Chains A and B, each alone.
Chain A
Amino acid sequence: MTVPFTRRQALQFAALGAAGLSLPRAAQAAPDSLLNVSYDPTAALWADYNKVFTSYWQQKTGTAPTLRYSHGGSGAQARAVIEGLQADVVTLALSYDIDAIAKRGLIAANWQSRLPDNSTPYTSTIVFLVREGNPKNIRDWSDLIKPGVQVITPNPKTSGGARWNVLAAWAYALKANGNNPAAAKAYLKSFFANVPVLDTGAHGATLTFTQRGIGDVLVGWESDAYLSIAQAGRGKFQVVLPSVSILAEPPVAVVDANVDRHGTRALATAYLEYLYTPTGQDVIGRNFFRPRDPASLAKYAHQFPQLDLVTVAQFGGWAKAQPEFFADGGIFDQVYAG
């Protein structure tokens, strides 16, 4: 059986081949272009910072860099980088997610010691956002498990921010119950019994609370809480500071394998180091994240009151806390499985 391969068929196949080739190829990043892969609540921060850094870099080198950023759940973003998203730098919600990239060999294992403050140029914490006038009179974590209070928090399985929420709640529950883990688990169970919706990300949870009017209290990033107030205007929401919260340290890192391929190491390193300068710290402060630099922190002291903050180190670090709390069969699953 021979089928002559006619000219027309040949042309058709050639056309198909050409269509395949003309698909957008993986962007060959120029040395002055940079992709920052980040997590949900930082959109405003990076939009602002990129402008500031662009003018700094232009003054220094004479060329304007092309700075792009992408947002999503922290874990999903880390996975995208692992699977080949050409990030030059990653700025994620927790070190566990950057460790996961490092484990695949894309980032040097010692990444966290390459920049000051464990590679976390800013911190944040977990606070409550309630409706104006605080109608349910929510003052502290203990009020979140009262009957009739609806709590909005995202799913810690899919949201980095939600993991900070759970650890903060846990820290409170341990403290309130004489370090009794069983009591803390009971607290967490009542806590999640009051959660009507588990959004997949911090951003979705914020929208559920602010836009769709669901729930009495949003547990989430301090930066998101202030941003919501700034966006909604005065008189709709107010921040409540709990007695205990957690010091969230969202880290940043240069993705070594990608910057070496793109030739963007100098730009990427400068991009992250500039975050630690007074200018960078000021951008951080005005976008509602807590600056590391004491002078910048003092400038924004009115919006960052002193809080009793535990650290993830007290949980043994993310390498221990992640499996203990959020892996399959971990504390979060136990709380839900009854």
Chain B
Amino acid sequence: MSATTSRSRRVTWREPSILPGFAPSLTFTLLWLGIIVVGPLAVMLWFTAGLGWRGFLHIVLRPRVLADLRVTVGSALIASLANLLCGLLIAWVLSRYRFPLRRIADALVDLPFALPTAVAGIALSTLYAPQGWLGHLLLPLGLRVAFTPAGIVVAMMFVSLPFIVRTVQPVIDDLDAEQEEAAHLMGASAWQIFWRISFPAILPSLLTGFALAFARCLSEYGSIIFIAGNKPMISEIVPLLIVAQLDQFDYQGATAIGTLMLGVSFLLLLTINLLQAWVRRRQNG
């Protein structure tokens, strides 16, 4: 810090660094983000801007859009909350226990990353269809998964699981065993050690994983359209509505709903990030 303040008052826009390559790497970063991320989003906003506020609100406040938004965000929340618990458990088990086939179980977690989502969707709907292996077992219990909103949640849980496990697992790996041992020697119970020592250390990464998983759920399309049933107002997700809009050559309608989705996602992710920052501050302070 003192090095910075003792420098001349010349306005500088970067921290001095002993590492080389700042200018080219920054140029590259900005260029890349611009082309890959900002470009498509800017085009979308540009298309939407042509509508004006009233046109935009007219499109996104339709009951169908709001219903689909409720379905999408609601399912994403349920799926990522479920994965929050299951993902933590899986990460904990994979990191802390040694058991046969652990490496294979570990590798399995990554499969949803790699599997084409359409394949996942077809497999899930075959499995959960009323005549499917799992579906026909659930049917007598009155549970229908495929072609209902529950199917959306299942597909979302599938695609988003690795995000939580892979974010939390390295943190559990790095947990300081000495702290736990010390707590144990001081007479803490196993639960106390988990809640007071381990969990607070994991929590920030858990929130990061939750945010990633949640974002992944919101963006999922490929697997959901096979299992959801896609009934308007009931089991239709926003991305499908966007595709339907495009199939009517209604580009502005599609980009307007896309912009709404972007705004909602941004707000939700911002909330999670703020929560995460608050947790970190509390822990450090």
Q: Knowing A3-B23, A73-B247, A76-B247 are in contact, say whether A155-B126 is a contact too (CB < 8 A).
A: no
CB under 8 Å from chain A, chain B span 243-266: 243-244, 246-250, 253
CA distance A198 to B225 in the complex (A): 9
CA distance A214 to B136 in the complex (A): 12
CA distance A79 to B251 in the complex (A): 10
CA distance A200 to B246 in the complex (A): 13
Residues of B within 8 A of A204 (CB): 226
- Selected interface stretch from A260-268, A301-309, A326-334: A326-334
Which among A9, A158, A199 is the interface contact of B247 at CB below 8 angstroms? A158
In angstroms, how far is the closest chain B Cβ from the Cβ of A321?
13
B63 at the interface (CB under 8 A from A): yes
Look across to chain B and name the residue whose beta carbon is closest to the beta carbon of A322: B248
CA distance A1 to B225 in the complex (A): 54
CA distance A5 to B132 in the complex (A): 62
CA distance A281 to B268 in the complex (A): 58
Residues of B within 8 A of A13 (CB): 24
Look across to chain B and name the residue whose beta carbon is closest to the beta carbon of A329: B62
Residue pair B230, A200 in contact (C-beta under 8 Å): yes
Residue pair B250, A328 in contact (C-beta under 8 Å): yes
Look across to chain A and name the residue whose beta carbon is closest to the beta carbon of B148: A196
Residues of A within 8 A of B24 (CB): 3, 5, 9, 13
Residues of A within 8 A of B64 (CB): 328, 333, 336-337
Residue pair B244, A76 in contact (C-beta under 8 Å): no
Look across to chain A and name the residue whose beta carbon is closest to the beta carbon of B24: A9
Look across to chain B and name the residue whose beta carbon is closest to the beta carbon of A332: B232
Residue pair A197, B230 in contact (C-beta under 8 Å): yes
Residue pair B244, A157 in contact (C-beta under 8 Å): yes
CA distance A79 to B147 in the complex (A): 28
Residue pair A155, B244 in contact (C-beta under 8 Å): yes
A213 at the interface (CB under 8 A from B): yes
Q: Knowing A3-B22, A76-B246, A155-B244 are in contact, say whether A198-B233 is a contact too (CB < 8 A).
A: no
Residues of A within 8 A of B196 (CB): none
Majority secondary structure of chain A interface residues (helix, strand, loop or mixed) = loop
B131 at the interface (CB under 8 A from A): yes
Q: B1-33 interface mask toward A, CB cutoff 8 Å, 1 = contact, 0 = none? A: 000000000000000000001111000000000
Size of A's binding interface in residues, CB under 8 A? 32
CB under 8 Å from chain A, chain B span 120-145: 125-126, 129-132
CB under 8 Å from chain B, chain A span 145-173: 155, 157-158
Q: Knowing A157-B247, A157-B248, A336-B232 are in contact, say whether A200-B130 is a contact too (CB < 8 A).
A: no
Residue pair A199, B232 in contact (C-beta under 8 Å): no
B184 at the interface (CB under 8 A from A): no
CA distance A200 to B147 in the complex (A): 13
Residue pair A212, B248 in contact (C-beta under 8 Å): no
CB under 8 Å from chain B, chain A span 182-226: 195-200, 204, 212-214
B240 at the interface (CB under 8 A from A): yes
Residues of A within 8 A of B249 (CB): 75, 78-79, 82, 100
Residue pair B125, A75 in contact (C-beta under 8 Å): no
In angstroms, how far is the closest chain A Cβ from the Cβ of B125?
7
Residue pair A327, B23 in contact (C-beta under 8 Å): no
Residues of B within 8 A of A326 (CB): 248
Residue pair B62, A328 in contact (C-beta under 8 Å): yes
Residue pair B131, A213 in contact (C-beta under 8 Å): yes
Tell which of A76, A212, A327 has the most Cβ of chain B within 10 Å. Answer: A212
In angstroms, how far is the closest chain B Cβ from the Cβ of A4?
10
B229 at the interface (CB under 8 A from A): yes
Look across to chain B and name the residue whose beta carbon is closest to the beta carbon of A323: B248
Extra A-B contacts (5), CB below 8 Å, given A158-B247, A337-B63: A3-B22, A73-B247, A75-B246, A328-B248, A336-B231
Residues on A lying within 8 angstroms of B by beta carbon are 1, 3, 5, 9, 13, 73, 75-76, 78-79, 82, 100, 155, 157-158, 195-200, 204, 212-214, 322, 326-328, 333, 336-337
7 tightest A-B CB contacts, nearest first: A75-B247, A157-B244, A3-B23, A198-B230, A336-B232, A197-B229, A158-B247
Residues on B lying within 8 angstroms of A by beta carbon are 21-24, 62-64, 125-126, 129-132, 147, 225-226, 229-233, 240, 243-244, 246-250, 253
